[in-house]
Amino acid sequence: MGSNLLLNIASKGHTVAGFDVDSAKVEGLRGRSEGMQIRAYQDPAAFAAALAPPRPMLLLVPAGRIVDEAIESLLPHLSPGDFVIDGGNSHYKDTARRASTLEANGYGFLGLGVSGGERGARLGPAMMAGGTPENYARVQAVLESAAAKFEGEPCVALVGAGPAGHYVKMVHNGIEYAMMQSIAEVYDVLRRVLGHSLQDAANVFDRWTSSPLGGFLIEITASILAYRNPDDPDPLVELVLDKAKAKGTGKWTTQDAMDLGVPIPTIDASVSARQLSESRETRMKLATLIATPGSAVKPSLGAEELGLALEAAFWCAYIQGLSLIQAASHEYGFGTDLRKVTRIWRAGCIVRSRLLVPLAEASDRVSNRDHLLTDPALAARVTTLLPHLRTAVAASAEAGIPVPCLGASLSYLDGYRTARLPANIIQAQRDLFGAHGFERTDRPGVHHSDWGQP
Ligand code: 3PG
């Protein structure tokens, strides 16, 4: 991804130098840089010497200790005014720590979330920067030239102070987990509830590429389902082991949402679903111990209705993620504007879909404190989709097909449209066994009862 982003920047006419400890990567970059102003180095001193100070240095390395090691290897070669940009998937708390260490030493730091995968890095990713406006201004023109464009607008912005860029990228990935899991569930329902062949399922996803759902994840799923490796007896996707790995950004999203008290159940369910998939041996054992219900195909459920259910789950993923960003912005003082976030996600990033256009419009109408679902146009769309999501979840439940993200989305929407929830029971229970007190609907104050207990 690093060399691809470098090639992308160089292809826009900028002069760049690249550095990697791996000689094969350095050679690889040299081999791909023909006609561009690129120099490649394996030695940090030579790399730094190739650039005129003050130098912006962009790191693209895996999150964790390796980022600290990369910064440590550059430190002896930095001059005052240089600044480091971390373009990896770093945890936002690490970004805050690195920024204060570097800034205390007279260097600048920018946390930059980069989305779009390897191809996106070369062709135009979406980028979410966090830090000071001064540091951002120093690289804004370069980043804008390399970023994906939506109707001519570059998909990069300063999304807030401090580690806001990595926070927004973390939540982007949480949304990505939820969208991917929802797609996987709908694929499963197509195959095991509606009895579609793999080719039929591929055709359905192919049709959805030009529907409101259309976007990167639907497109790659259509390609994956249609792909046959000539060396394999079966379509490749059928040969892939059903254990989903994760690098952690989805889990971090869930952890932070719990800390901030923001409900993001569709995203939570997607993280748990990957974890459950890892217990393959237990699943294989239990498959013989717990009976599967007999097939109960709902005649009313069709592929197009499933597409509407998937759209509802996508809305939930976006809305939950953006609600978390809203809360984090207030709590941590990022000053993030959802209108910027939704706009830079319209192209280049993994979660891009056509739904981002009405979502960006909704973010113009709703204040940064209000829940996005209070936007009348979003509420109306969700109202239209809800019966289809309900039918899909009901049919899956009857057939014994797990749909954690679709189910969580349904309960999220049902929860938010319920004026009186049974939380009164929780409060009464807490008061009965712990004297925690409760508020009443008919008079102010905090009350306590013995609930008729001796
Ligand atoms: C990304 O940044 O999108 C990651 O590559 C995907 O995260 P994962 O490996 O945890 O799925």
What is the torsional sign of CA 290, 296, 302, 307? negative
State the pLDDT at residue 67: 95
Nearest CA to ligand 1 atom 3: 173
Q: Is the pLDDT of residue 361 over 80?
A: yes
**What percent of the residues of the chain are helix, what percent strand, and what percent coil, each to the nearest 5?**
60, 10, 30
Report how far ligand 1's centroid is from the alpha carbon of 393 (Å).
Answer: 27
Asked if residue 77 lies in contact with residue 44, where contact means CB atoms within 8 angstroms, the answer is yes
Report how far ligand 1's centroid is from the alpha carbon of 300 (Å).
Answer: 36
pLDDT range class, residue 141, cuts 50, 70, 90: very high
According to DSSP, the residues that pair with 17 across neighbouring strands are: 39
State the pLDDT at residue 368: 84
What is the rounded average pLDDT of the residues 37-55?
A: 92
Of the candidates 207, 161, 208, which has an alpha carbon nearest to the alpha carbon of residue 336? 161
Q: Is the pLDDT of residue 294 over 80?
A: no
Q: CA-CA distance, 312 to 140, in Å (whole number)?
A: 35
Q: CA-CA distance, 374 to 365, in Å (whole number)?
A: 10
Both tokens of 68, joined, read: 């600290």
Rg (CA), the chain: 25
Non-local (6+) Cβ contacts of 378 within 8 A are 315, 319, 358, 359, 362, 372
Q: CA-CA distance, 347 to 124, in Å (whole number)?
A: 9
Report how far ligand 1's centroid is from the alpha carbon of 173 (Å).
Answer: 7
What is the rounded average pLDDT of the residues 35-43?
A: 91
Report how far ligand 1's centroid is from the alpha carbon of 201 (Å).
Answer: 25
Within 6 A (CB) of ligand 1 lie 89, 173, 176, 246-247, 249, 350
For residue 399, give the 3-state DSSP assignment. helix
Nearest CA to ligand 1 atom 11: 246
State the burial class of residue 137 (Cβ atoms within 10 Å of its Cβ: 0-12, 13-18, 19+): exposed
The pTM score is: 0.97
Q: How far apart, in Å, do the first and last CA atoms of the chain sit?
A: 68
Query: Among all chains, which residue has been given the structure tokens 């207990």?
Result: 453
State the burial class of residue 292 (Cβ atoms within 10 Å of its Cβ: 0-12, 13-18, 19+): exposed
Q: CA-CA distance, 451 to 454, in Å (whole number)?
A: 9
Best residue among 166, 176, 177, 267 to mutate for probing ligand 1's pocket (most ligand atoms within 8 Å of CB) is 176
How are strands ordered across the β-sheet holding 156-160? 56-59, 83-86, 108-115, 126-130, 156-160
Q: Compute CA distances 171 → 178, 255, 262, 364, 420, whole Å.
A: 11, 11, 12, 20, 30
Atom of ligand 1 nearest to the CA of 246: 10
Nearest CA to ligand 1 atom 1: 173
Lowest mean pLDDT among 10-19, 170-179, 347-356, 410-419: 10-19
Best residue among 173, 175, 351 to mutate for probing ligand 1's pocket (most ligand atoms within 8 Å of CB) is 173
Q: CA-CA distance, 248 to 115, in Å (whole number)?
A: 15
- pLDDT, tens digit, 9 for 90 and up, residues 187-227: 999 999 999 999 999 999 999 999 999 999 999 999 999 99
Q: CA-CA distance, 155 to 347, in Å (whole number)?
A: 7
Both tokens of 439, joined, read: 């508020």
Report how far ligand 1's centroid is from the alpha carbon of 115 (Å).
Answer: 9
Atom of ligand 1 nearest to the CA of 172: 3
State the pLDDT at residue 298: 53
What one-character-per-residue DSSP string does 44-86 give? HHHHHHTSPSS-EEEE---SSHHHHHHHHHHGGG--TT-EEEE
Nearest CA to ligand 1 atom 5: 117
Atom of ligand 1 nearest to the CA of 247: 10
Best residue among 247, 254, 277 to mutate for probing ligand 1's pocket (most ligand atoms within 8 Å of CB) is 247
Residue with the larger pLDDT of the pair 111 and 36: 111
Asked if residue 7 lies in contact with residue 28, where contact means CB atoms within 8 angstroms, the answer is no
Q: Is the pLDDT of residue 317 over 60?
A: yes
Lowest mean pLDDT among 241-255, 292-306, 328-342: 292-306
State the pLDDT at residue 297: 55
Atom of ligand 1 nearest to the CA of 250: 10
Report how far ligand 1's centroid is from the alpha carbon of 46 (Å).
Answer: 32
Report how far ligand 1's centroid is from the alpha carbon of 170 (Å).
Answer: 10
Atom of ligand 1 nearest to the CA of 350: 3
Asked if residue 123 lies in contact with residue 9, where contact means CB atoms within 8 angstroms, the answer is no
Task: Give kind and range of the element (H or E) at residue 321.
Answer: helix 303-332
Report how far ligand 1's centroid is from the alpha carbon of 250 (Å).
Answer: 8
What is the percent of the chain where pLDDT is above 90?
94
Of the candidates 11, 100, 101, 2, which has an alpha carbon nearest to the alpha carbon of residue 57? 2
Best residue among 61, 86, 89, 170 to mutate for probing ligand 1's pocket (most ligand atoms within 8 Å of CB) is 89
Report how far ligand 1's centroid is from the alpha carbon of 391 (Å).
Answer: 31
Main-chain phi, psi angles of 340, to 5 degrees: -75, -45
Query: Among all chains, which residue has been given the structure tokens 């990567």?
Result: 25
State the pLDDT at residue 71: 94
State the pLDDT at residue 454: 86
Asked if residue 271 lies in contact with residue 177, where contact means CB atoms within 8 angstroms, the answer is yes
Provide the annotated active-site residues.
169, 176
Of the candidates 51, 108, 112, 49, which has an alpha carbon nearest to the alpha carbon of residue 83? 108
State the pLDDT at residue 296: 56
Q: Is the pLDDT of residue 341 over 90?
A: yes
What is the rounded average pLDDT of the residues 10-34?
A: 92
What is the percent of the chain where pLDDT is above 70?
99
Atom of ligand 1 nearest to the CA of 169: 2
